[in-house]
Each structure stands twice: as structure tokens, then as C-alpha cells.
Amino acid sequence: MDRLTSIEIFVKAVESGSFTGAGELLNMSSQLVGKHVKALEQDLGVKLLNRTTRRQHLTDVGRNFYDRARNILAEMEAAKNLAHEVRAIPTGTLRVSASVSFGVNALAKVLPLYMKENPEVNVEMSLTNRTVDIIDEGFDIVFRVGELSDSGLIGRSLKPYKLVLCASPGYLKRYPAIRHPEDLRKHECLGFSFTELRSRWTFQSTNELITVPVTGKLMVDSGEVLLEAAKAGMGVMLQPSELVEREIASGALVEVLPDYPVPTRPMHLVYAPDKRMTPKMRSFIDFVMLHFGAS
């Protein structure tokens, strides 16, 4: 007889209190239940159940075996459910948070493709430059730039976040040439209100990092606003590559100090460890890793 089947029947016999009760639950005769339990005992070489014509009770060994067998069967059921979920069609609402620039200039470009591939999924996307609380605010998935400070979250590495220094051709004609990061001290630097970018910018030289304090008349919490200001010749800005690459390609902006690149910052897709890996989450994570994964 199949050992796993015999274990399942033994557990049912214990839980129902009799072979007859187990037979009714499993749609088989009490005699067949008895044969499975006896075969299991013979296979193990121990007595699991003591039975009389009126009642049954577990032996000490039987009690320990029952506790372990029940846990094993529960784990197997969970594994089967997980396999079913992997094959299931993604459905439901997925709540996602990302920074404004990444959301508008990168994620938004591929999101229609994801929704076309997964028509039963509804996406609620919140774009903000503040650090959201993934648990308290009820997000399924969050994109985060920088080192992960909360070790309680599960993070998947994405392509590094690249910042580019640029200005309009008109601004660069009107003001002194920028040949070294230290020259930025004499320039109007368009400030981004979040992170250290509001007051200092860091660049990589051949042998060292160069951090320069920056000042300017305009400080905004939106990269898109800074982009328009830079195009209008109001100053030099340091913003994500996906925000400025089109304007650089068109000539509206010019990359400044290309020989002193800004160190890239790590970027992750994160989710809570207690989030059940539903088909909608798995499908979105796989999609993001395909388009933005580190490899």
C-alpha cells in the first residue's frame, strides 16, 4: 500500500475517533481503513493505535507520530496550494509605490504592456518622493532608491539608479565654463528637496569622490519642475537619467562634467515578508525584473 495514503488515513482515523468515522470521511470501508493502519504499523515496526470493540486510543509512539504526520500533511497541502497559485491567472488589485521621476519616465512606459498581459489585474500606483510605509499604507510592492535600511523587507535588486548633471546650452554660454565639480560653487544649482541633493552633490574622479556644496534660488520637490527650469536656462540640475536623456538627445540640454560621473545608487523592488506570493504579485515582480532587473 502507498505509505503516504496510509498516513493520511491514519490521521483521519485519529481525528474522527474510529475506523468507521474515517471510512465515512474518506468514502471507504472501515475494513480498508484498518488494513491501511495495520500496513503502516508493520512498515514502521511499532504499534500506533490500541483498539477494542468500543474505543481506540493512541500509544505513546502513535501520539508522537500523529503530531508529526499532521504537520507534514499540512505542509504538503500548503505546497500544493502554492503550486496551484503559480499556475493560476493573476487577478485582483495591486498597489504599487514609486518615486515620481522613475514612475513617470520609466515605469509608466512599460506598465501598459504588463496590464495587457494581465488583463484581470487592476493597478493602483502612487507616485511620491517620500519614503512610504509599505505595511501601514497597504502597498504590495514599492520601488526604493538607496540602501535598504529596513532589513525586515524583502528586496530584489534592480538596475542602479543613475543621475546626470546637465544644463541648457543658453545657460552654459552665459556663465563660466564648468570643468571641475568645484566650479559648481560659482553656479546656480537647481535644488531637489529630497535627500542630500538639496545641499551637496557628489562626483567620482579617477581616484576619489568629490563632494561639493551647492546653492541656488530654486528648490523643488519635483524633478519634472526642475527639468523645465533647466531647459529655461535657470541653472544646472542633477536628476535621473530617464528624466533627462530625451532632452539631451534633442539638444535641449547638455550633459555637464561627463568625465566626473555621479556614483550610481542602488535601487530595489521591495515587499513585506508576510505578503503571500499571489499570482498578481509574482507576475508583476517577474515583469519588473525582466525590464529593470540588475542583470
The pLDDT tens digits of the residues spanning 87-109 come to 678 999 999 999 998 999 999 99
User: Which CATH number applies to 92-161+266-292?
Assistant: 3.40.190.10
> What pLDDT is recorded for position 197?
83
| Confidence category of residue 61, pLDDT binned at 50, 70, 90 | confident
Measure the CA–CA gap between 218 and 185, rounded to whole angstroms: 15
> What pLDDT is recorded for position 270?
93
142, burial (CB in 10 Å: exposed 0-12, middle 13-18, buried 19+): buried
Strand ordering across the sheet containing 163-167:
219-220, 189-192, 236-240, 163-167, 254-255
User: Which CATH number applies to 3-87?
Assistant: 1.10.10.10
User: DSSP label at 54?
Assistant: S
Cell numbers 535644488 correspond to what residue? 191
Measure the CA–CA gap between 247 and 226, rounded to whole angstroms: 13
> What pLDDT is recorded for position 275?
64
The per-residue pLDDT for range 197-242, each reduced to its tens digit, is 889 999 999 889 999 999 999 999 889 999 999 999 999 999 999 9
> What pLDDT is recorded for position 54?
74
The answer on pLDDT for 115 being more than 80 is yes
Amino acid letter at 156? R
Cell numbers 531647459 correspond to what residue? 231
- 3-87 and 92-161+266-292 have identical folds: no
The per-residue pLDDT for range 126-182, each reduced to its tens digit, is 999 888 888 889 999 999 988 877 667 888 999 999 999 999 999 999 999 999 999
Cell numbers 489585474 correspond to what residue? 121
Q: Which CATH number, 3.40.190.290, 3.30.310.10, 3.40.50.300, 1.10.10.60, labels domain 163-255? A: 3.40.190.290
Q: Cβ neighbours of residue 103 under 8 Å, at least 6 residues apart?
A: 125, 127, 143
Q: Where are the domains of the chain?
A: 3-87, 92-161+266-292, 163-255
